[in-house]
């Protein structure tokens, strides 16, 4: 009961991040939930509970007697929700013993098995979904709820031996800034796990290499009746650029280890336009090739229209954590064991995205990602299995015990 009520409480907070903001966190409203979590962790009896100037909440569950010298492990989740859809006034609906059929979310919005076949897996589960007007916020408040509830359980069951455990909650993960100011030294864990996955059993220690590209285009507007050999239409150049990138390398045509160019925004007029991409690939060589292709396309268009017409800003965002996690195989093996003991079949798969853990791994804290039971993140079709969330909570408890064995 604690897990469900805690999750429902957390999703009532609007914590949407804003990629256009220059502040940190990007939105003040994230701090409201972070302050609440700080107070809650203090209430359940954790120690060294802090919230710093950037909003990071950290806390300690001390080791049980005799286990002070085993590795310190951490559990980390983010509180912000995606800018892709509103996270305000979330109205959760609960289905007990889901029958495996289509779900009417509300407002004539349907969650259909034909379109989301993984629903079949959740037949018999307790599901929590939206009313079709907002996202749910399981990404990543399911992870937050699982961590807090697991810490409360361990606090109430001192007979379960465990080492020192560190807890961390971060803002702004959804806009790629989640650990910009995170202090690995202050967190002081030997290894950690982000609770930020989806499908039951997911265990992820590979993620995309990631970059962002912004192309600013300066056109020349002339009356269309006298435009020949004079007009430079910035919109036309933006669409020409998009057409020069391989059409098969778009998210809707890729899966598994396949990377992509994803146009996430285009705006402008004849006079000026801007087009934005995210570039992703698991393979570092293919990642570099994709970035070079973007430069080649822009350089070609500069020669065609003028060097001053197009300006490309391309920045790396994060890298594949596999390089940093693989040297520590017990982090993965213990996660597999914890899942099996919780009645969960581990499924090792690459993340088609990134987590705070990918950056933390390169900051010196190996940090694979575990499932939470949330599905269809970032939109109105998001839902969570409370049944799977309970299993994820048990995986956390099992990991605490297994690392102390």
Q: What is the pLDDT of residues 186-237, one digit of tens each?
A: 999 999 999 999 999 999 999 999 999 999 999 999 999 999 999 999 999 9
173 is catalytic: yes
pLDDT tens digit sequence for 27-78:
999 999 999 999 999 999 999 999 999 999 999 999 999 999 999 999 999 9
What pLDDT score does 330 carry? 96
Share of the chain above pLDDT 90, in %: 94
- 259 CB-contact burial (10 Å; exposed 0-12 / middle 13-18 / buried 19+): buried
pLDDT tens digit sequence for 285-317:
999 999 999 999 999 999 999 999 999 999 998
Task: Tell me how many helices (H) and strands (E) the chain has.
Answer: 10, 18
Q: Does residue 192 sit in helix, strand or coil? A: strand
- 331 CB-contact burial (10 Å; exposed 0-12 / middle 13-18 / buried 19+): buried
Confidence class of residue 353 from pLDDT cuts 50, 70 and 90? confident
What pLDDT score does 176 carry? 85
Whether 239 contacts 377, CB under 8 Å:
no
What pLDDT score does 45 carry? 97
* Nearest of 319, 324, 321, 300 to residue 310 by alpha carbon: 300
Residue identified by tokens 């160019």 is 261
Identify any residues that bridge with 314 across adjacent strands, giving them in sequence order. Answer: 213
Cα–Cα distance for residue pair 3/154, rounded to 1 Å:
14
Query: What torsion do the CA atoms of 231, 234, 239, 244 make, to the nearest 10 degrees?
Result: 80
Host H or E run for residue 311: strand 310-318
Cα–Cα distance for residue pair 258/114, rounded to 1 Å:
24
pLDDT tens digit sequence for 81-115:
999 999 999 999 999 999 999 999 988 899 999 99
Domain with CATH 3.40.630.10 in the chain: 2-206+320-402
Residue identified by tokens 């289905």 is 95
Cα–Cα distance for residue pair 181/385, rounded to 1 Å:
32
CA atoms within 13 A on the CB side of 403: 28
The fold adopted by the segment(s) 209-318 is: Alpha-Beta Plaits (3.30.70)
Cα–Cα distance for residue pair 55/82, rounded to 1 Å:
18
Mean pLDDT (the chain) is 96
Return the structure tokens found at 152: 């409360």
Cα–Cα distance for residue pair 292/287, rounded to 1 Å:
9
108 is catalytic: no
List the catalytic residue out of 14, 40, 80, 139.
80
Query: What torsion do the CA atoms of 349, 350, 355, 361 make, to the nearest 10 degrees?
Result: 100
* Nearest of 115, 138, 119 to residue 128 by alpha carbon: 138
- On the question of pLDDT at 1 being above 70, the answer is no
Q: What is the DSSP letter of 187?
A: H
- On the question of pLDDT at 324 being above 80, the answer is yes
Whether 284 contacts 322, CB under 8 Å:
no
List the catalytic residue out of 139, 140, 152, 173.
173
Average pLDDT over residues 149-154: 98
260-268/272-281 β-pairing:
antiparallel
Cα–Cα distance for residue pair 327/366, rounded to 1 Å:
9
pTM of structure: 0.89
Cα–Cα distance for residue pair 143/193, rounded to 1 Å:
11
Domain with CATH 3.30.70.360 in the chain: 209-318
The fold adopted by the segment(s) 2-206+320-402 is: Aminopeptidase (3.40.630)
Cis bond leading into 25, ω under 30°? yes
Share of the chain above pLDDT 70, in %: 100
Confidence class of residue 261 from pLDDT cuts 50, 70 and 90? very high
310-318/272-281 β-pairing:
unpaired
Average pLDDT over residues 366-390: 96
Cα–Cα distance for residue pair 269/265, rounded to 1 Å:
14
- On the question of pLDDT at 392 being above 90, the answer is yes
């Amino acid at each position: 009961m604690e897990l469900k009520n805690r999750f429902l409480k957390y999703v009532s907070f609007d914590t949407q991040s804003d990629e256009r903001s220059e502040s940190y966190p990007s939105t003040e409203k994230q701090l409201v939930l972070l302050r609440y979590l700080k107070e809650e962790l203090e209430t359940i009896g954790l120690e060294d509970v802090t919230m710093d100037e950037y909003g990071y909440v950290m806390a300690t569950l001390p080791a049980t007697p005799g286990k002070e010298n085993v590795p310190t492990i951490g559990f980390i989740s983010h509180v912000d929700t995606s800018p892709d859809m509103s996270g305000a006034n979330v109205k959760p609906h609960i289905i007990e013993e889901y029958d495996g059929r289509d779900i009417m979310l509300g407002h004539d919005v349907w969650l259909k098995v034909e379109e989301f076949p993984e629903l079949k897996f959740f037949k018999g589960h307790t599901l929590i979904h939206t009313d079709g007007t907002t996202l749910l916020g399981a990404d990543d408040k399911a992870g937050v709820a699982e961590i807090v509830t697991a810490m409360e359980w361990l606090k109430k069951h001192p007979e379960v031996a465990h080492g020192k455990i560190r807890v961390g909650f971060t803002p702004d993960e959804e806009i790629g800034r989640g650990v910009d100011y995170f202090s690995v030294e202050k967190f002081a864990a030997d290894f950690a796990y982000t609770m930020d996955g989806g499908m039951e059993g997911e265990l992820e220690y590979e993620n995309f290499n990631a970059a962002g590209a912004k192309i600013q285009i300066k056109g020349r507007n002339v009356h269309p009746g006298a435009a020949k050999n004079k007009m430079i239409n910035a919109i036309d150049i933006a669409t020409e650029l998009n057409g020069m990138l391989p059409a098969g390398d778009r998210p809707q045509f890729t899966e598994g280890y396949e990377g992509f160019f994803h146009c996430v925004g285009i705006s402008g007029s004849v006079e000026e336009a801007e087009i934005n991409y995210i570039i992703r690939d698991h393979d570092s060589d293919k990642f570099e090739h994709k970035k070079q292709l973007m430069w080649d396309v822009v350089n070609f268009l500069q020669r065609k229209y003028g060097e001053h017409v197009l300006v490309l800003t391309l920045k790396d965002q994060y890298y594949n954590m596999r390089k940093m996690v693989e040297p520590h195989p017990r982090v993965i093996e213990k996660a597999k064991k914890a899942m099996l003991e919780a009645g969960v079949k581990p499924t090792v798969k690459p993340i088609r995205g990134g987590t705070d853990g990918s950056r933390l791994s390169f900051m010196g804290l190996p940090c694979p990602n575990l499932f939470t039971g949330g599905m269809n993140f970032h939109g109105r079709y998001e839902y969570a299995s409370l049944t799977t969330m309970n299993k994820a909570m048990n995986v956390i408890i099992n990991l605490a015990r297994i690392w102390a064995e």
